[in-house]
Amino acid sequence: MRHIISILIENEAGALSRVAGLFSARGYNIESLTVAPTEDETLSRMTVVTGGSDRVIEQITKQLNKLIDVVKLIDLVESTHVERELMMVKVKTSNETREEVKRLSDIFRGKIIDVTSASYVIEMTGVSDKLDAFVAALDDESVIEVLRSGPMGMSRGEKGLHL
Amino acid sequence: MELSGGEIVVQSLIDEEVEFLFGYPGGAVLHLYDAIFHQQQVKHILVRHEQGAVHAADAYARSTGKPGVVLVTSGPGATNAVTGIATAHLDSIPMVIISGQVGTPVIGTDAFQEVDMVGITRPCVKHNFLVKNIADLAETMKKAFYVATTGRPGPVVVDVPKDVTDPSIKIPYVYPEEVVMRSYNPIIKGHSGQIKKAVDLLLNAKRPMIYSGGGVVLGEGSAELIEFSKLLEFPVTSTLMGLGAYPATDEQFVGMLGMHGTYEANMSMHESDVIIAIGARFDDRVTGKLEEFCPYAKFIHIDIDPSSISKTIQVDVPIVGQVTEVLREMIVLIKSSNIVMDQKALEAWWSQVNKWRDLHCLEYDRNSDIIKPQHVVEQLYEVTNGEAYITSDVGQHQMFAAQFYHFDKPRRWINSGGLGTMGFGLPAALGVKLAHPDSDVACITGEASIQMCIQELATATQYRTPVKVINLNNRYMGMVRQWQEFSYESRYSESYMDTIPDFVKLAEAYGHVGMQIEKPADVRPALEEAFAMKERLVFMDFLTDRTENVFPMIEAGKSHHDMKLRSPSDKELS
Ligand SMILES: Cc1cc2nc3c(=O)[nH]c(=O)nc-3n(C[C@H](O)[C@H](O)[C@H](O)COP(=O)(O)OP(=O)(O)OC[C@H]3O[C@@H](n4cnc5c(N)ncnc54)[C@H](O)[C@@H]3O)c2cc1C
Ligand SMILES: Cc1ncc(C[n+]2csc(CCOP(=O)(O)OP(=O)(O)O)c2C)c(N)n1
Ligand SMILES: [Mg+2]
């Protein structure tokens, strides 16, 4: 099953490689990994999307917690949560297709953030499935580049992942 | 007090009351070595290879419980230390390893003797630090000792660039009294609800087992383990790493379990209905085939590291906590419980266990006119009154040592279990002897293993560490040969060395005493003679049976009740 593990980690040089190294050394898979500093600049927040049986996920969270730099973590899938992923898609456009692509982007609440005579860059956020659906709806031939951030998420309600 | 970075490192070792610093100099640590020159409190032990430094410091730690400390230079010094660091890591040994690094301005430029030590050691340390700023040095040293020695212990590397130790840059020195790390808080006390559940399970057991491991040694839990076991009167088995925490000569002890464990220990585990694992990590050498491991048992598991629990075997009652705390709480609960134990069932269980014992699975041919390795270890046990510190290398000799030297106290059995590092034994013996100068220290080794760190014989000369080397010389990499005999139709591919040095001359060349022993009858007198030479390192080269194998054996992928035993013709049952 797919799990989204959200980690608060000391914002130190090498923190990212400790997490990435753990996954490769123990043979756990990483679907995506995002990392950025938080409002407290001594801390980073990482989101790892991974998969595996309950036992594997239990080991992953235990092993992550064991890293000395990890302050806290939660598996978002264990409670209700919201998640979003950012995507940018560059598509070829021509006089005939320009309108059609724009309409499709509107339906998916995308934003066109760059326009040339022959291309659009479309920005879109949403759950990963929605982004998949948008890419699938585009004509394969027209897609120049797809760039995705990997999902990140937060639990619903007033509780949060902080110190 | 204003100190340079080099002086700060050394002063922090003094503040940590470090007795010995095992190391080897080089360019990146010259400032540090100059600071060492100017003080007397920390005694530097100059080894002959950095691997030896780490093993010696590691064994110092294993035998004392205090952290072992190492200093190596950058590049090749650092990489030579890695095998030792990984050895300590897999056995959870508290250590601080200080490595020199090239200056901060040239880090990342492929500078002379530069390796990314933090990167290389990341998977084999508990934690590591690169100190780029002298202002962080004292606090980082404090953190390194704190992390290494608390929770589940382990090695910590502190990588120090040369410019950070520059003697011309001095800052005020304050060594922190304590450190608080928001991201690191080892759990000490066990969950009371879980402890109660565990006690209920134990008191209702009919075929119980106590499976004790290295965590009892590491956590100083021997006294509690003994009290707990005596209270319950259950059979006790131990992993290779736990030997000595429960006295081997006690009636309740059924010997080591696992691949080369006793018949009675493995059969008891297999048939048990309630097993309490205490500071043991269900290693594959112990479990054999996971699907068939202890099919009838409910498991209680005490471990300070949550990730050890349910890693390979799903347990029923997990208890995260320090072994002493949890056992003490259990002892109180057991004493006050009104559950009536099923004495009849327990008696029947013991009589079954004793039947398995009656097989005498460790018996060997005592009438052989070739020296049997088991005989040497048995005689060593008697000559040293069972009180020596025994270090070992890796191979058959290690298993014979574990089976035939009956450790009654913790921290006396010093071996590389998790990584299985050949070359560990000799430097380890030196580290132990430095820590316990008045005790007998023997290194049980094989002719292949001993050659991996033989250069430390020179260190032993320099520091006058009169250990005894017990070389069980079977002219084979016996453990490899045994596997090849059983699994590869005796195709002894490269498990034999065409030339073996004259160990007697070799020992003499280093200034020690060498002996070669060829006859069983000479084993005892030779040992007595060697141990009477209190001030000398004696290298005892025992020419042992080339074809001897270690039994019992659970072959790879087999389960506990499926042991290979010595064939009856091979042993003379007493
Ligand atoms: C050739 C060879 C053959 C071997 N054959 C065998 C064999 O037949 N049988 C055998 O048992 N081993 C054998 N081994 C050793 C084996 O590889 C493992 O090293 C060993 O089984 C692990 O022992 P352990 O489970 O006690 O764990 P250790 O590695 O000693 O780990 C200790 C555990 O205790 C926990 N702990 C640490 N401190 C505390 C504390 N204060 N409180 C609570 N918990 C704590 C740790 O988190 C860890 O989980 C062999 C090794 C070699 C090289
Ligand atoms: C550094 C290292 N290399 C290889 C091995 C694999 N290995 C395990 S036991 C062994 C043979 C050891 O031979 P010896 O020291 O003579 O001991 P014996 O088994 O004969 O008692 C080998 C090669 C190892 N454990 N460590
Ligand atoms: Mg040999």
Q: What is the ipTM of this complex?
A: 0.93
3 state DSSP class of B502: coil
Over range A30-52, report the average pLDDT.
Answer: 95
CB contact under 8 A, B130 and A14: yes
Together in a domain, B164 and B264: no
Nearest-angstrom CA–CA distance, B452 and B497? 13
Q: Which residues pair with A143 in a beta bridge?
A: A91
Nearest-angstrom CA–CA distance, B55 and B431? 8
Q: Which residues of B touch A57 (CB under 8 A)?
A: none
Nearest-angstrom CA–CA distance, B528 and B426? 21
CB contact under 8 A, B123 and A18: no
CA distance to partner chain B, nearest, from residue A68 (Å): 6
Q: Which of B62, B89, B90, B92 to mutate for ligand 1's pocket (most ligand atoms within 8 Å of CB)? A: B92
What's the DSSP call for residue B27? G
Nearest-angstrom CA–CA distance, B178 and B180? 7
Together in a domain, B353 and B436: no
Nearest-angstrom CA–CA distance, B544 and B273? 41
Instruction: Convert the pLDDT of each residue in A64-103 to its tens digit.
Output: 999 999 999 999 998 899 999 999 999 999 999 999 999 9
Give the active site residue among B7, B16, B50, B114: B50
DSSP B275-344: EEEES----HHHHSSGGGSSTT-EEEEEES-GGGTTSSS--SEEEES-HHHHHHHHHHHHHH--PPP-HH
Nearest-angstrom CA–CA distance, B206 and B246? 22
Together in a domain, B343 and B482: no
B interface with A, Cβ–Cβ < 8 A, is 118-119, 122-123, 126-127, 130, 147, 181-184, 305-307, 310-311, 314
Together in a domain, B267 and B335: yes
Q: Give the end-to-end CA distance of chain B in Å, rounded to a whole number.
A: 70
CB A150 within 8 A of CB A32: yes
Q: Which domain holds residue B147?
A: 2-172
What is the pairing mode between strands A81-92 and A143-148? antiparallel
Evaluate: CB of B325 within 6 angstroms of ligand 1.
no
- By Cβ distance, the residue of A10, A21, A59 closest to B123 is A21
Instruction: Convert the pLDDT of each residue in B521-535 to its tens digit.
Output: 999 999 999 999 999
Instruction: Give residues with Cβ within 8 angstroms of B564, minimum separation 6.
Output: B486, B551, B552, B553, B554, B555
Reported pTM:
0.97
Together in a domain, B400 and B282: no
Hey, which bits of B335-421 come out as E strands? 389-392, 413-414
Nearest-angstrom CA–CA distance, B365 and B569? 9
Together in a domain, B377 and B350: no
Q: At what angle do helices B76-90 and B50-64 cross, to 10 degrees?
A: 30
* CATH number reported for the structural domain that contains residue B383 in this entry: 3.40.50.970
Quote the pLDDT of residue B569: 63
Active-site residue, B486 included: no
Together in a domain, B320 and B424: no
Together in a domain, B280 and B322: yes
Over range A108-137, report the average pLDDT.
Answer: 97
Evaluate: CB of B311 within 6 angstroms of ligand 1.
no
Round the average pLDDT of chain B to a whole number and report it: 97
Quote the pLDDT of residue B573: 45
Quote the pLDDT of residue B275: 98
Together in a domain, B296 and B237: yes
Q: How many domains does chain B contain in total? A: 3
Together in a domain, B93 and B15: yes
Quote the pLDDT of residue B574: 39
List of chain B residues with pLDDT < 70:
569-574
Residue B190: phi and psi, rounded to 5, are -80, 160
Nearest-angstrom CA–CA distance, B156 and B95? 6
